[in-house]
Chain A
């Protein structure tokens, strides 16, 4: 699997994503500078976490208009898988590849802690190594992580099976208590229409190494390798 990680000014999880990708695939990804309009041939494009353009204006808003994003959008529409983590999810919504928007956390504060997620679908290229309904632990770290879309949109997304992950408790129960940031319907991750673009607020790459306290995130990268090898 040959992946490309897009580096915006202010990205800061680009290396973390690259480490996890290489650990899963054995291949170092290409690091692609935002100002480049050329994007190498890629089996997977990753938009990493961080604070692209300082999160000025709105999180992800300026990055969505950077030169490389025109090509990312074109590739995504052509079927190339795209994974946007944290700030990358924000960029995906701003670029119109995913509906809705990420708002300031309900606590109004930055939140850094492990969260439990329920795998809503295990039939996509991102999740085939997980069990349906499995409860996994990823690391949340953001200030603007509350997913919002209008009720009608949320109904449609649910109807189309586009919810990828939801915040849950140990038993997989979706509850207000398990929702760290006020996301509508506990949505932590979301697919596009054909399940090839995934936007995800918590970080799988931060819990993909036993030394860091967990490996649930590694299965996402292994799923991608299995799908795209």
Chain B
């Protein structure tokens, strides 16, 4: 029996059991009664439960999130709106956000992932922006876990079908396999939109007596208590929560997108917000609260998919593809004409008032009458207890065994689940629609052209969960730095980030300690790199039967390329070009992919992140790109220098001849170490000296690695590894894995 049905049977008397089923603690219930001034009715309890859920109220994370830098001259809108906005110059701005849809995607991967994509796109176009690119960050369990293939297959096709039908290109992302996600996968979806700075729409419902308008799909019984589900741990019975997963209809969302943007051309909308988590409840409460008004809703006017829906169900439904708007009085006719043209439901369901209360009527009965401040601001804020994670000892290169053969190790790494080509995934995403994708998936960053201009937006999603698990502080710093580096490697000025903070149960001090460490690491990196956080979401309780995922602060960053003719790619272009390494070599193998893939172990501290070196090196590389001094650029991350070079060789179809590693470090630490703040660049021979000089002037360590040419990766003193062999290893793993389902 569903929570709703059980509660209904209890005939409106609120028992402690019903309170508990709504995810509220006895203390929180006391607080609710105090805020309301009386015992709530059932609908009111439902409304409170979603607004006070972790998902909507950020009650465990709020005190920490305040530490993140959110400002900068480029920031037009920081956190607190549907999405963040940064300035792109020329009266244009980018609107972007990333959001998690983890729990639904584990229970029902196709619909869970699809509606995650649908939700994040609504967050963007609700602000007046046309979505121009989608990205995603996916974490699955071990390849040999019985559920993994099913989840990969469902999630990828759910993301693809939704974005493809919307006609918004899905241009990239990242995918990990790790047994620690076996019972709690992560699906983080990001959307970037483009808006004119003079035409940004927000969610503050200013003004009294304005019509409240419902548009989009009809309301059904799907998704009830989705926000509450996202705020609790999983257990073996979680599959029973399948009915709380929403069902997506991308075709309706495409109509909704076009209808909203068409109406936004008129001077008709005061405020607009999508009905996402907690549906009609959160959209109406947040808009009225931000506008400093009250709101009165008549649920008899809500378009419903099925008969007999109660006020409780309508207020808590998370049916997809719905929007709530506050219109200027007198604009109803024009708005209705637009939405009817697009064959969408349109209904005036209430008005703004001066009471600062949410009043909900249904069938002539007042089902809820709640001060908005109680819903929006009286939610508890917890300073959860936390303990600092034990730091792990730094691993000396000599402590990590060398491989039998360096080329053999490279072949093994590049064909491992961790580093193999993700082509099987991104070929299921339409990454070319809108005809502005100037850098397709597979490089450091995806780049989409700002339509009709020569500007490009570089986009990247990054985090290395094994680093975060070993040291959340360094790991989160690294995630921000790697994102910044990937944008830089494409030639972009990094502008800002959105984040998806995926963690376990915050009521456990050791989990809260990882969250605290990650926020502090992010804050440090964002500050040092002038890379503020403008939007994001927090997803806690990512654990099953008491086992948490590794701390996973996904970072989604965007950067601006002023002229795409100066964009860099990772592909080697010409035989004879000189390959160079920029950045310091320390042979750091702790928590490296070499360790994980070759030794099946992960130990020691992750590589430390020197933010000053990051900035210095990144600024140097960006300058070289802009000056046309380099022909290819790739950042060094998972797998180290040799893997980065192999990826450049495969992308360009040119081999390389590499000199033996000099110096005292063991060769495998030089080639597979994951020291940060490093890039590989290629340059024509007549420009190589200029690269060296620029590096010396910027005090960035420099080493010439070898030259481009041939059809193999040749390491001095080792047998050549033919590109064809490398390519087969790189391309084969994922299709082969997925074929045997």
Contacts and interface: CB of A to CB of B under 8 A. Distances in A.
Contacts of B343: 9
B427 A113 contact: yes
B433 A211 contact: no
A35 B341 CA distance: 9
Interface string A177-216: 0000000000000000000000000010110010111000
Nearest to B426: A112
Contact of B435 (A16, A55, A111): A16
B251 A111 contact: no
Contacts of A113: 427
A141 B254 contact: no
Given A10-B165, A109-B157, A112-B427, A54 B249 contact: yes
A50 B435 contact: no
A51 B254 contact: yes
B420 to A, nearest CB: 17
Interface in B416-459: 426-438, 440, 449
B157 A212 contact: no
B167 interface: yes
Contact of A110 (B160, B437, B449): B160
Contacts of B436: 212
B564 interface: yes
Nearest to A52: B251
A72 interface: no
B659 to A, nearest CB: 33
Contacts, number: 87
A213 B160 contact: no
B449 A112 contact: no
Given A12-B433, A110-B428, A205-B435, A55 B157 contact: no
Contact of B342 (A9, A15, A55): A9
Given A13-B167, A110-B164, A54 B433 contact: no
A205 B434 CA distance: 10
A12 B253 CA distance: 12
Nearest to B341: A35
Contacts of B406: none
A12 B166 contact: yes
Nearest to A15: B434
A176 B430 CA distance: 24
B161 A110 contact: yes
A110 B434 contact: no
Contacts of A139: 432
A53 interface: yes
Contacts of B161: 110, 143
A12 B254 contact: yes
B556 interface: no
Contacts of A54: 165, 249-252, 254
Contacts of A61: none
Interface string A48-67: 01110111100000000000
A209 B251 CA distance: 29
A19 interface: yes
Nearest to B249: A54
Interface residues of A, number: 32
Contact of A112 (B429, B434, B435): B429
A110 B254 contact: no
A10 B254 contact: yes
Contacts of B160: 110
B430 A110 contact: yes
Contacts of A212: 432, 435-438
Contacts of B429: 110, 112
B432 A141 contact: yes
A55 B255 contact: no
A111 B428 contact: yes
Given A50-B167, A55-B165, A141-B430, A10 B435 contact: no
Interface string A22-42: 000000000000010000000
Contacts of B433: 12-13, 16, 49, 141, 206
Nearest to B439: A213
Given A19-B435, A112-B432, A211 B164 contact: no
Contact of B165 (A20, A51, A109, A203): A51
Contacts of A211: 438, 449, 564
Nearest to B435: A16
B741 to A, nearest CB: 11
Nearest to B167: A12
Interface in B33-84: none
A53 B427 contact: no
Nearest to A217: B435
B553 to A, nearest CB: 30
A146 B167 CA distance: 21
Nearest to B258: A9
Interface in A93-130: 109-113
Given A16-B433, A54-B251, A213 B165 contact: no
B435 A206 contact: yes
A54 B343 CA distance: 13
Contacts of B432: 112, 139, 141, 203, 206, 212
A13 B164 CA distance: 11
Contacts of A55: 165, 251
A109 B164 CA distance: 12
A178 to B, nearest CB: 16
Nearest to B252: A54
Nearest to B342: A9
Contacts of A112: 164, 426-432
A51 B157 contact: no
Given A109-B157, A206-B432, A206-B435, A9 B427 contact: no
A5 to B, nearest CB: 14
B428 A16 contact: no
Contact of B251 (A10, A49, A109): A10
Which has the most chain A C-beta neighbours within 10 Å: B161, B251, B435?
A: B435
Contacts of A50: 167
B430 A209 contact: no
Contacts of B166: 12
B428 A209 contact: no
B165 A209 contact: no
A119 B255 CA distance: 36
A5 B665 CA distance: 63
Contacts of A141: 164, 430, 432-433
A22 to B, nearest CB: 11
Contacts of B252: 54
Nearest to A11: B167
A121 B236 CA distance: 61
B334 to A, nearest CB: 17
Contacts of A19: 435
Contacts of B564: 211
Nearest to B738: A109
A50 B168 CA distance: 11
Interface string A80-102: 00000000000000000000000
A208 to B, nearest CB: 8
Interface string B650-683: 0000000000000000000000000000000000
29 contacts: A10-B251, A12-B167, A12-B254, A12-B433, A13-B167, A49-B433, A50-B167, A51-B167, A51-B250, A54-B250, A54-B251, A54-B252, A54-B254, A55-B165, A55-B251, A110-B161, A110-B429, A111-B427, A112-B426, A112-B429, A112-B430, A112-B431, A141-B430, A205-B435, A206-B435, A211-B564, A212-B435, A212-B436, A213-B438
Which 7 A-B residue pairings sit nearest by Cβ, starting from the closest? A12-B167, A54-B251, A16-B435, A51-B165, A141-B430, A110-B428, A112-B430
Given A110-B430, A203-B432, A209-B435, 4 more contacts: A11-B167, A54-B254, A112-B430, A143-B164
